[in-house]
Amino acid sequence: MSIDENTAARVAKLARIKVEPEALPALAQEFNNILGFIEQLNEVDIEGVEPMTSVTPQKLKRREDVVTDGDQQAKVLANAPDAREGFFAVPKVVE
Amino acid sequence: MTELNKLGLAGARDALRSGDVTSKDLTEACLTAIDGAGALNAFVHNTPDVALAQADAADKRLAAGDAPAMCGLPIGIKDLFCTKGVPSQAGSRILQGFLPEYESTVSQNLFDNGAVMLGKLNMDEFAMGSSNETSVYGNAVNPWRRGNDDAALTPGGSSGGSAAAVAADLCLAATGTDTGGSIRQPAAFTGTVGIKPTYGRCSRWGIVAFASSLDQAGPMTKSVRDAAIMLEAMCGHDPKDSTSADLAVPNFEAALTGDIRGKKIGIPKEYRMDGMPEEIETLWQDGIAMMKDAGAEIVDISLPHTKYALPAYYVIAPAEASSNLARYDGVRYGHRATLEAGDGITEMYENTRAEGFGHEVQRRVMIGTYVLSAGFYDAYYNRARRVRSLIKKDFEDVFAQGIDSILTPATPSAAFGLGEMTDADPVAMYLNDVFTVTVNLAGLPGIAVPTGQNRQGLPLGLQLIGRPWEEADLLSSAYALEKAAGFVAKADKWW
């Protein structure tokens, strides 16, 4: 599988990272090097092997479905780049 | 008594309890050492006020006879741990200015145990790297040098600042984290001890997430005994981390008998890599001989899927990272790009992440995005998870044969020069973790112990891998190896 500049641009878009057009050829080359390394995995016989979901088999604990936290608006907003009137502020999303 | 910063945890604890020194003495000695070690760039946020207040409280506890194991002992905390009111940036520009409103469980456990925080330690950005060269703070520098050559060497990564600080006696010990080898590789590069416990031993709550199924915290120390003391204080069940194990924490220090007579130590043939330097092979053979002399039974074993561990890791870790790092969007915390007129929310996300993430982090987030994207999820991500099952089964099979622990090199080389790998393919840097990454994929405990030096005088380490949840037994075997190797060398002070 070879990644071209268009694919690299699409991946950057999906990842929400701005990549300048002139940086795309080098990025595509890096992806190809890494994916070439990863493709060794195709040599492995994985027939009948389940994908790992949890490395140390354990049953997740359950608890009552009740509120255990909250009322920390000031703390939640304390690190926001732009907080106004008790909310996170962002550029206009809907015209 | 002079140079209190050169003590280890056990020695300082005993001196505190006997009343020979105070925590204030120890803390001030470390703060002085830190002030004189700017050239190492190990501490990146100093917290002398916090340290002196904690030392004062610890001295009161000691005087009152209420002295837990870590009481009054000054340590450094890796920048990946969220520490309340203290900068916690994960070595990244995107978290510049972030001041957590909460304390990570591991650092809280240490503080409850009386530990003193000297400051935050340098690291690769988001723990992605093997040389500490991806940090927004600049490189941390290894206190060790090649003989009389003054070329700056890497302390390893990602816990490079932690390793450099412990090796240079800026603190008595430090916290690290290990996703693919980030405790054990820097420990080996700096002549220090580092243990990654079984996945689930330490709570991950409040530690900035890289790859959640692989990340574990652990101590970086000057001796195996210190590692046992500090690990016990760090771990324990935490309801705030659903993967934290609800198991009793043993007294690890009490288990340090160093008696390995009759223990079966496995030597995996797949860890003998093509092109491995002779000094690493010699180190390994010496270690095997030491374990044998101490009464262990040496058994040749096979871990057939070893070769596929790194490629599987470089699917799984970036996939998890792309998901975990999606939260850095310029909305809730950290950096937000300055917007141009007409920019909408998508431009805000894209510019914020382009400015805030360094090159290696961007690369891994995008690789993760690709392997999780529609049409490639099965071919890459699910295949890697299936290979991961096989890698874990390799270990289960040898443990079922009665193997107690596995002895391997910790790294494929000694510390390399800062900048030496800059032009190399990213994959060449990834090979640093070739001996350690299997342990994360299988969720096992692993420890790096310094056992020798190369011809240039640089420290080299071996790794012992243990059965799940059997850190006590693993530490005892490591203690035997440490005693047999008798590694006492320190870097000559040049900084």
* Beta strands per DSSP E along B207-359: 216-221, 264-268, 297-301
| Binary contact (A79, B332; C-beta < 8 A) | yes
Query: Minimal Cα–Cα distance from B260 to chain A, Å?
Result: 27
Q: Which pLDDT belongs to residue B2?
A: 60
Of the candidates A49, A56, A93, which has its C-beta nearest B468's C-beta?
A: A56
* Rounded Cα distance, B448 and B220, in Å: 10
Q: How far apart are CA B155 and CA B190, in angstroms?
A: 6
The stretch A65-90 carries a mean pLDDT of 95
Distance CA B119, CA B40 (A): 14
User: Cβ contact (<8 Å) for B315 and A38?
Assistant: yes
Cα of A67 to nearest chain B Cα, Å = 14
Q: Where are the alpha helices (DSSP H) in B64-122?
A: 105-112
Number of other CB atoms surrounding residue A7 within 10 Å? 17
Structure token digits, residue B310: 């790194």
Euclidean distance between CA atoms B18 and B9, whole angstroms:
14
Q: What is the amino acid identity at position B489? A: A
The distance of B304 to chain A (nearest Cα, Å) reads: 11
Using DSSP's 3-state secondary structure scheme, residue B297 falls into strand
What pLDDT tens digit does each residue of chain B (495 aa) get?
469 999 999 999 999 999 999 999 999 999 999 999 999 999 999 999 999 999 999 999 999 998 999 999 999 999 999 999 999 999 999 999 999 999 999 999 999 999 999 999 999 999 999 999 999 999 999 999 999 999 999 999 999 999 999 999 999 999 999 999 999 999 999 999 999 999 999 999 999 999 999 999 999 999 999 999 999 999 999 999 999 999 999 999 999 999 999 999 999 999 998 888 999 999 999 999 999 999 999 999 999 999 999 999 999 999 999 999 999 999 999 999 999 988 999 999 999 999 999 999 999 999 999 999 999 999 999 999 999 999 999 999 999 999 999 999 999 999 999 999 887 778 888 888 999 999 999 999 999 999 999 999 999 999 999 999 999 999 999 999 999 999 999 999 999
DSSP state of A23: G
Amino acid code (one letter) for B344: G
Report the distance separating Cα B275 and Cα B458, nearest Å.
19
- Where would I find the beta strands (DSSP E) of B344-494? 405-409, 446-453, 459-466
Q: What is the mean pLDDT of chain A?
A: 93
Distance CA A38, CA B315 (A): 7
Interface contact flag, A52 B386, Cβ < 8 Å: yes
B461, β-bridge pairs: B450
Domain segments of chain A as ranges: 5-43
Angstrom CA distances, B104 to A45, A73, B181, B226, B238, stand at: 41, 20, 21, 21, 11
What confidence score (pLDDT) does residue B220 get? 98
Strand partners, B46: B119
Backbone angles phi, psi at A25, to 5 degrees: -60, -45
B193-196 and B116-121 as β-strands: parallel, antiparallel, unpaired?
Answer: unpaired
| Nearest-angstrom CA–CA distance, B484 and B476 | 12
- Say how far apart CA B490 and CA B169 lie, in whole Å: 10
One-letter amino acid for residue B117 of the chain = M
CA closest to B324 among chain A residues: A15
The residues of B annotated as belonging to the active site are 78, 158, 182
**DSSP class of B270:** G
**Please, which residues 54-73 of chain A have a Cβ atom closer than 8 Å to chain B?**
54-56, 58, 60-61, 63, 72
- Which residues 6+ apart lie within 8 Å of B378 measured at CB? none
Q: Does residue A88 sit at the B interface (CB-CB below 8 Å)?
A: yes
State whether A15 and B384 contact (CB < 8 Å).
Answer: no
Distance CA B338, CA B316 (A): 33
pLDDT, one tens digit per residue, over A26-68 is 999 999 999 999 999 999 999 999 999 889 877 888 889 999 8
Q: What is the pLDDT of residue A62?
A: 87
Tell me whether strands B116-121 and B74-78 are parallel, antiparallel or unpaired: parallel
Which A residues, 21 through 40, put their C-beta within 8 Å of a C-beta on chain B?
27, 30-31, 33-35, 37-40
pTM of the model: 0.97
| Cross-chain Cβ contact A81/B387 below 8 Å | no
Distance CA B104, CA B112 (A): 12
For position B449, what pLDDT does the model report? 98
Examine the predicted complex and report whether its ipTM is higher than 0.90: yes
